[in-house]
Amino acid sequence: MILPLVIVLLSLAPLSLARQWYDVHFGTSPPYPPPQFFVELAGQMIVPHLPHAGEYYIFPAMQPWQGGGIYQSVLDGRSGKWSFVNGWCCAKGFPCSSPFSSKWDHAGDPRAGWTNVIKHESTGTTKTTHVNLGGKFFNQVLFGIELYNQHWDFGWLEFKNIFIRSNGRDTKWCTTPISDTAIFEIAKPVATVDRRGVTCFIAALVQKQPSHPQPP
């Protein structure tokens, strides 16, 4: 059963269409560098219809506490057809059309390298990227929408069968998703603890619309 969670943000700041950001995120607790950090993010995305060419960026991602970049599998809509960009910030991806389902897996060791695999589940196309990110400890997992001079006009964004894994034994981060920018529904997260750390399973996460009015 998917349970609705709605958080509304009221802002007095002037509205600007230049850059719009929406996300649902999970985070481990301070201090930083974090004693508990994320080591894997995997799941499926139902890719929405792309209305037209423009700077639409949609992604699951992990961010390090130090900042300075993002490790992601991002859909890029600039060409008028979605294409996937895979890895640390920016790398060449592969073209795709919508709707379809994509499967992705970020896994690695903060002290060494990471491997990111994307699979187009309609065509079977896969892309694997190896990235050396030694020294980056990821304390945030996010499901993001980043728009430049565009509206959120592609409907709902759905993620399924999400697995997030961290070291440590604290499960609080799994059960407390946060968003002050998007209205979303989420199936109840299920956390398990074993010798490898915490595994969080989320059957479905749907970002439905902005929680505040979009600029004209």
Query: Tens digits of per-residue pLDDT, 91-144?
Result: 444 344 444 455 666 776 666 677 888 887 778 888 787 777 777 788 999 999
> Given pLDDT bands bounded at 50, 70 and 90, which one contains residue 13?
very low
Q: Does the residue 215 lie in any domain?
A: no
> Given pLDDT bands bounded at 50, 70 and 90, which one contains residue 172?
very high
Q: Does the residue 32 lie in any domain?
A: yes
pLDDT at 192 over 50: yes
Q: Does the residue 216 lie in any domain?
A: no
Q: What is the CA radius of gyration of the chain?
A: 17
Under DSSP, the state recorded for 82 is -
Determine the 3-state secondary structure of 180 from DSSP.
coil
Give the range of the structural domain holding residue 74, as residue numbers without chain letter: 2-9+16-210
Average pLDDT over residues 32-55: 89
The most distant pair of C-alpha atoms in the chain lies apart, rounded to whole Å, by: 51
pTM of the model: 0.83
- What CATH number did the domain enclosing 148 receive? 2.60.120
> Given pLDDT bands bounded at 50, 70 and 90, which one contains residue 88?
confident
Q: How many CB atoms lie within 10 A of CB 8?
A: 9
How many independent structural domains does the chain possess? 1
pLDDT at 150 over 70: yes
